[in-house]
Amino acid sequence: MTTADADPRRRVPRTDAVLADPALAGAAARLGRDRVKRAVIAAQQAAREGRIAPEDVAAAARAALPAAATGIRPVLNASGVLLHTNLGRAPLSAAAVEALGVAAGTCDVELDLATGRRGTRGAGAVAALRDAVPGAGAAWIANNGAAALALVCAALAGTGGEIVVSRGQLVEIGDGFRIPELIESTGARLRPVGTTNRTHLRDYADAIGPDTAFLLVVHPSNFVVSGFVSAVGVRELSGLGPPVVADIGSGLLTAHPLLPDEPDAAGTLAAGADLVTASADKLLGGPQAGLLLGGGERGTALVERVRRFPLARAMRVDKLTLAALEATVAGPVPPVREFLDADPAALRARAAQLAAGLAADGIDAVATDTVAGVGGGGAPGVALPSAAVALPQHYAAALRDADPPVLGRTAEGRCLLDLRALPPAADAELARAVRSVAGAAGREA
């Protein structure tokens, strides 16, 4: 054998030969041929440089490919935060996921099949919202909660119209966005009244003038102010004359016994609000969307005014959101509601079973009581009794690198895997992730 024949680089398989590998051919159909080809070329280069054997090129290319065509990865939420913003907030129900598949192809999102002509966009989702919220005479859907509020300000206040709001409600929401800056970006003028901690009905009454477009009530959904405080409710404001717009934030459609201080859409409309804005991907448990609900004749007319405003076209939602939202509102109980209503005793039993199984494998795991939270800018201060599997603290970082990744939290030198925001069906997958991390640590030792 010549020296050239002995050179392993000469044994690197050709690109077309590697691409013919059945597993890679299947990956090309799933991920696209270009992506698979790039992985093959990278593996060939590794073989030429002697980092892998030539016969391992196909395997290396397969290992380098993602499981799906998106870079987004599923994560097990063991943080104890039901609506974790960094994890996409509410997980969708099986019904909503199925609805996404229906809407993914060509569908009658804006077609009247009976006449063959243009139909009403999102009619099913709007009808579901009206059915679910007593007192809602009209509804419209924007692409998120901030968009719904901004659109109301632009359509109803326009350039120069005044919006009367309590100084105590000029809050900052996620990622540094502030309500006053959001409103003023629409061209409307803010008329703050009262003080940070106390606002009275006379403050609103004294501020009303010919330029008043509406009175705005913003629920401070991600913090609580206590002590020497005073605020004016929707019911009192509704008697002052101008329209009342209430941004309730978290998207609770009807009252929930565990969240007595969280405003709900039905109750807010019943109290006299003309318009209610809210998010759909929080306590409602649906996809990201902004809800606009109108009560009574005036509220119904205002919704139509907002819907016909030119900027509404830029803020409308796509067919996937409409399908998932309708399935969430009209379908079975979504996961977030199941997490909220979870029985603490059942959570403790799950934690004990998981910890016992892991401990039997020599892993330092114990069950412990914990406290979970709603998150997502909703129900601040509400403590939800929960249970978790406690592991050594170093598991927290290692589990984020597991397959699938697991997001826990650390407390008092331990990694806590809280079960409140995990369905029971995920327990086996959680245990496998922990065992994989423990096994990897053992092999490294």
> Is residue 162 within 8 Å of residue 211, measured between CB atoms?
yes
Provide the 3-class DSSP secondary structure of residue 380.
Answer: coil
Can you name the CATH fold of 76-85+338-444? Aspartate Aminotransferase, domain 1 (3.90.1150)
> Is residue 116 within 8 Å of residue 329, measured between CB atoms?
no
CATH topology agreement for domains 76-85+338-444 and 93-333: no
What the block records as the tokens of 62 is: 């397969």
Cα–Cα distance for residue pair 36/13, rounded to 1 Å: 15
pLDDT per residue rounded down to tens, the chain (445 residues): 455 456 666 789 999 999 999 999 999 999 999 999 999 999 999 999 999 999 999 999 999 998 888 889 999 999 999 999 999 999 999 999 999 999 999 999 999 999 999 999 999 999 999 999 999 999 999 999 999 999 999 999 988 899 999 999 888 876 777 888 998 999 999 999 999 899 999 999 999 999 999 999 998 866 677 778 899 999 999 999 999 999 998 889 999 999 998 999 999 999 999 999 999 999 999 999 999 999 999 999 999 999 999 999 999 999 999 999 999 999 999 999 999 999 999 999 999 999 999 999 999 999 999 999 998 877 878 999 999 999 999 999 999 999 899 999 999 999 999 999 999 999 999 999 999 999 876 555 4
Residue 311 CB coordination number (10 Å): 14
Packed helices 33-48 and 22-31: angle between N→C axes, nearest 10 degrees:
130
**Sequence letter at residue 27:** A
Q: Where are the beta strands (DSSP E) in 170-272?
A: 189-193, 212-218, 244-249
Per-domain residue ranges for the chain? 12-64, 76-85+338-444, 93-333
Cα–Cα distance for residue pair 316/140, rounded to 1 Å: 9
Provide the 3-class DSSP secondary structure of residue 300.
Answer: helix
Return the bridge partners of 327, or none.
none
Return the half-sphere exposure (C-beta side, CA atoms, 13 A cut-off) of residue 222: 16
Sign, Cα dihedral of 242, 253, 247, 378: positive
Packed helices 22-31 and 57-64: angle between N→C axes, nearest 10 degrees:
30
What is the assigned CATH class of domain 93-333? alpha beta
Per-residue HEC secondary structure of 43-82 comes to HHHHHHCCCCCHHHHHHHHHHHCCCCCCCCCCCEECCCEE
Radius of gyration in angstroms for the set of CA atoms belonging to the chain, rounded to a whole number:
27
CA distances from 221 to 213, 304, 377, 445 (A): 24, 27, 5, 47
What the block records as the tokens of 142 is: 């924007």
Cα–Cα distance for residue pair 129/332, rounded to 1 Å: 14
> Is residue 311 within 8 Å of residue 154, measured between CB atoms?
yes
Cα–Cα distance for residue pair 287/322, rounded to 1 Å: 9
> Is residue 138 within 8 Å of residue 185, measured between CB atoms?
no
What the block records as the tokens of 325 is: 């939202």
Cα–Cα distance for residue pair 304/392, rounded to 1 Å: 56
138-176 pLDDT, tens per residue? 999 999 999 999 999 999 998 889 999 999 988 887 677
Return the half-sphere exposure (C-beta side, CA atoms, 13 A cut-off) of residue 378: 35
Residue 188 CB coordination number (10 Å): 24
Cα–Cα distance for residue pair 58/15, rounded to 1 Å: 10
**Sequence letter at residue 180:** P
- Beta strand 76-77 with 406-407 is parallel
414-441 pLDDT, tens per residue? 999 999 999 999 999 999 999 999 987 6
> Is residue 277 within 8 Å of residue 149, measured between CB atoms?
yes
Q: What is the DSSP letter of 255?
A: -
Cα–Cα distance for residue pair 232/217, rounded to 1 Å: 9
